[in-house]
Amino acid sequence: MDKNVYWANLCILIRKESALMEKAAEEWKEKTGNGYVMNYLGDTEEVQIHQKISEDVKRGKPGFDLIISSRFDIFCSQAGLPAIKDKLHPIGGLLPVSAEVKHAGVEDSMGLYHPLTVLLHSIVCNTSILDGRKAPSSLEELLDPAWEGKVCIGNTALPSGQAILFAMWYLFGDEGLDICVKNWRQRSTPAAARHSLLKREFPIAVLPGVFSGPAPEDTMEVICPKEGMPAVPSYAAVAENDNWEDTVEFLKYSTASKEFQDFYRNMAIAVPANPDVPAPQGYNPQDPVLFPPWEWILKQDVEAFKEKILQVPS
């Protein structure tokens, strides 16, 4: 019987990534006789990954053999995979992890997951409309009332917006998060937030690396926050069953392989977990990275957090 893969990874790459996944699954079946059926559950699909995970939690066991997703909330919310953690085979430590991803601090304390990539966020300023003010050098400065209505992020229902506000919550508590929810603004995607920055609608945005590159006019300043660059990890998890070893091998052959990891690095400016793939251009190992400790994460009401941040005005 073919095995199930839940996929909701870097959705900006879905066409190319899905083609790579289908090719890998076809080759793996020819090589081993073991088939993997892709279930695409990204944000543009009719059925999305949160719905499938909710169904799995109610059933008390995963409907997947392998899950690959940048929706990090499903990996840490008590309404997500931690609710059925005894039905997962721990894969932390079974695959090598690059020094850069270790530096990001995203490996889970439960040892259940394998990190695949990490997207890093910077503060990006349109210096032409800072009105003489110095560009902020820290996330804390973005809480200043002077920046009310002037800080833009991507959709707070998507991983980028969630990760930025998750970091702010960790650093500055409920009070800091409330300030962000009241004073910041969101756009439909990180790409749309960058577009608003270029159109001079906002002087500041917090953006992932793929959207913080050079602008047509030399008015963009990219800043690594002194607290660290908020990180969005992508993870893989494997169901506990008689076939888990083959599933891990398929993971190594597909998403964790050098070919896939090089693709993520080049197309999404993602930091790869495969040690054989170098970090993307512009990555500085001296720059701090910010991801809350897993011990803290697992104590939080992630679902309540997700509901609250939907209130960020557009």
Q: Angle 285-194-73 (CA atoms, 0-180°, nearest 5)?
A: 65
Both tokens assigned to 248: 């891990």
Tell me how far apart the alpha carbons of residues 312 and 299 are, in angstroms, rounded to a whole number: 24
User: Are the CB atoms for 74 and 92 separated by under 8 Å?
Assistant: no
Give the residue-averaged pLDDT of 122-151: 94
Q: How far apart are CA 133 and CA 135, in angstroms?
A: 6
Residue 12: predicted pLDDT: 60
Q: What is the pLDDT of residues 254-284, one digit of tens each?
A: 999 999 999 999 987 899 999 999 999 889 9
pLDDT band of 220, cuts 50, 70, 90: confident
pLDDT in tens, 79-126: 999 999 999 999 999 999 999 999 999 999 999 999 999 999 999 999
Distances (CA, A) of 208 to 52, 124, 213: 27, 10, 9
| 3 state SS of 310 | coil
Summary mean pLDDT of the chain: 94
Identify which has the larger pLDDT, 62 or 10. Answer: 62
Task: Delimit the CATH 3.40.190.10 region(s) of the chain.
Answer: 3-119+233-283, 120-229
* Band of pLDDT at residue 304, cut at 50, 70 and 90: very high
Vertex 208 angle, CA 202 and 209, to 5°: 110
Q: Which CATH number among 3.40.190.10, 3.40.120.10, 3.30.750.24, 2.60.450.10 corresponds to the domain 120-229?
A: 3.40.190.10
Q: How many CB atoms lie within 10 A of CB 226?
A: 12
Alpha-carbon distance 221 to 212, whole Å? 9
d(CA 250, CA 240): 15
User: Phi-psi bin for 60: left (phi > 0), alpha (psi -120 to 50), beta?
Assistant: left
Q: What is the pLDDT of residue 274?
A: 98
Q: Which fold has domain 3-119+233-283?
A: D-Maltodextrin-Binding Protein; domain 2 (3.40.190)
pTM of the model: 0.94
Say if CB 238 and CB 89 are below 8 A apart: yes
DSSP states of 73-120 as a string?
HHHHSTTSGGGGGGGEE--TTTS---HHHHHHT-S-TTS--EEEEEEE
